[in-house]
Amino acid sequence: MPVIAQTSAPRVPWGLLLALLALVGIILLPEQTGLPLAGQRMLAILAFAVIVWISESVSYEVSAIMILALMAFLLGSAPTLSDPDKLIGTKDALSMALGGFANSALALVASALFIAAAMTQTGLDKRIALLTLSKVGASTHRVLLGAIVVTILLSFIVPSATARVACVVPIMMGVIAAFGVDKRSALAGGIMILVAQATSIWNVGIQTSAAQNLLTAGFMHKLLGESVTWTDWLIAGAPWSLLMSAVLYWVILRVMPPETDRIEGGKEAVRKALAELGPMTFDERKLLITVLTLLGFWATEGKLHSFDTASTTLVGLAVLLMPGLGVMSWKQAQPRIPWGTVIVFGVGISLGSAVLTTGAGTWLAKLLVTYLGMEGLSPFWVFAVLGLFLILIHLGFASATALTSAMLPIMIALLLQLGGDINPLGMSMLLGYVVSFGFLLPINAPQNMVCIGTETFTARQFLRTGIWLTLVGYLLMLVFALTWWRWLGWI
């Protein structure tokens, strides 16, 4: 008699189940004063997105498709804000859901991912890292400083935090191996924690260094009608990142002091790896020239020309892909591009924009202003309260991009609701800085997860450094809010 295989019933992840319950619960709530039905349904979709993202019950790519479907049908069956007797319709609702894919910030993110792929394709990022490390001495202190300098340099030319870390980690593991120390040593753990934390620190200082910054710029342009230039972002954020780099160096030496001050072999290993690369190839030279040219255009936007960052980056990408002139073909680039990131980014912009266009953001902002007692607060205290809120809620998010998608549109609506002396554009940029505070838990940023995957440190060791960086970083931002950023007119 044949044995019939028993198949277990499919299990719905608890996070997805909770998200669906929150979605239905908010939809079934009684009508709220001042909140249109479309806005109430948009808040339900937002709650669904936040819970799914925090719980990671489904992948970000799958959640993005779910959000698109929910927006198409839940908003499509809701009345328009201008005429309660007329439904929005699924066609118009789907157009709203896909609106983020027409945002210039998405073009910039996609182009940045291609440039990061070109870096790994040619090996230019590895050469720059090895060249930098070859110039430092053999002392452990100099190796730590060298790792910070490598992170800073790559932050300018590799517009992807994950790509930068993926390049630096193998190199630093090679240095650790050359030192002949155990990978669970304080030296090995300190180096890897430093790489992860330095990446987060410089995600603040450079606009093109992280996807969440580009998403912030996209929301500024979409919701405020204006944005900040690459140079404006750098002038405001880089001084903070420089000071925090010094703090990071001090924290690593105090929390995870290296077992020895000098170990022979590390510098020679780096030089050997550099020699194995051979002379710089023609493709590397072309890529370097292209990236430096882009940096020049980014830095002079609004001063020497009026070309926006996304447009100039697209031109650079076209050059890199051009047959005969470029450094890679479409076939070579395609498998290196995380297409899911592009989808999530576009849906994130759509989600945030729809929160405001349906009236949900304004209604929620009024509620928060009243509940938090923010009416009449000075711009400094508004930044202090909202910044602390973003730092705390980031503990639940594994993606700064997801956090930006969910929270920044509400923050912008709240700033517009408060009015007064607040500069919504400048304050939005500064709150965008706080989104990069992924210092506490390894799960709070992809670069953290890449580094902890080396098994050189524990989550507890990461937390010990992260507490100091979070406290000092937040206090330093408050000092900047009272001084540098106020002098620049952003607060």
Position 58, amino acid: V
Model pLDDT, residue 169 = 84
453's CB contacts (< 8 A; 6+ apart) are none
| C-beta of residue 47 within 8 angstroms of C-beta of residue 19 | yes
Mean pLDDT over 34-47 rounds to 92
Instruction: Return the number of other C-beta atoms located less than 10 Å from residue 451's C-beta.
Output: 26
Enclosing H/E stretch for 275:
helix 266-277
CB pairs under 8 A, 24+ apart, for 319-322?
319/290, 320/114, 320/115, 320/118, 320/286, 320/287, 320/290, 321/114
The pLDDT confidence band at residue 73, using thresholds 50, 70 and 90, is: very high
Q: Each residue of 77-109: pLDDT tens digit?
A: 999 988 888 989 999 999 999 988 888 878 888
Taking only the tens place, the pLDDT of each residue in 439-475 is 988 888 888 888 888 888 988 899 999 999 999 999 9
> Cα–Cα distance between 450 and 160 in angstroms, integer?
13
Over range 377-387, report the average pLDDT: 92
Query: Which residue type occupies 440?
Result: L
pLDDT of residue 262: 65
Question: Cβ neighbours of residue 124 under 8 Å, at least 6 residues apart?
Answer: 118, 284, 287, 288
Which pLDDT band, with edges at 50, 70 and 90, does 10 fall under? low
Give me the DSSP letters along 30-91.
Answer: PPPTT--HHHHHHHHHHHHHHHHHHHT-S-HHHHHHHHHHHIIIIIHTSBPSS-TTSB--HH
Contact 238, 155 (CB under 8 A): no
Half-sphere exposure for 380 (CA within 13 Å, toward CB): 12
Average pLDDT, the chain: 87
Judge whether 462 and 208 are in contact, CB under 8 Å.
Answer: no
- CA dihedral over 319, 325, 330, 332, signed as positive or negative: negative
CB atoms near residue 117 (< 10 Å): 22
How high is the pLDDT of residue 482? 96
Q: Which residues pair with residue 79 across a beta bridge?
A: 87
Q: Which of 40-44, 175-179, 317-321 has the lowest mean pLDDT?
A: 175-179
Query: Residue 383: what pLDDT?
Result: 94
**φ, ψ for residue 227 (rounded to 5)?**
-145, 180
Alpha carbon distance 394, 388 (integer Å): 10
Task: Convert the pLDDT of each residue in 287-329 to its tens digit.
Answer: 999 989 988 998 888 788 888 888 898 999 999 999 888 898 9
List, for residues 121-156, the tens digit of each pLDDT value: 888 888 888 888 787 766 788 888 988 998 998 898
Average pLDDT estimate for 404-410 = 87
Mean pLDDT value across residues 243-253: 96
Domain locations in the chain? 13-100, 104-336
**Cα Rg, the chain, nearest whole Å:** 24
User: What does the alpha-carbon distance between residue 96 and residue 450 come to, in Å, rounded to a whole number?
Assistant: 35
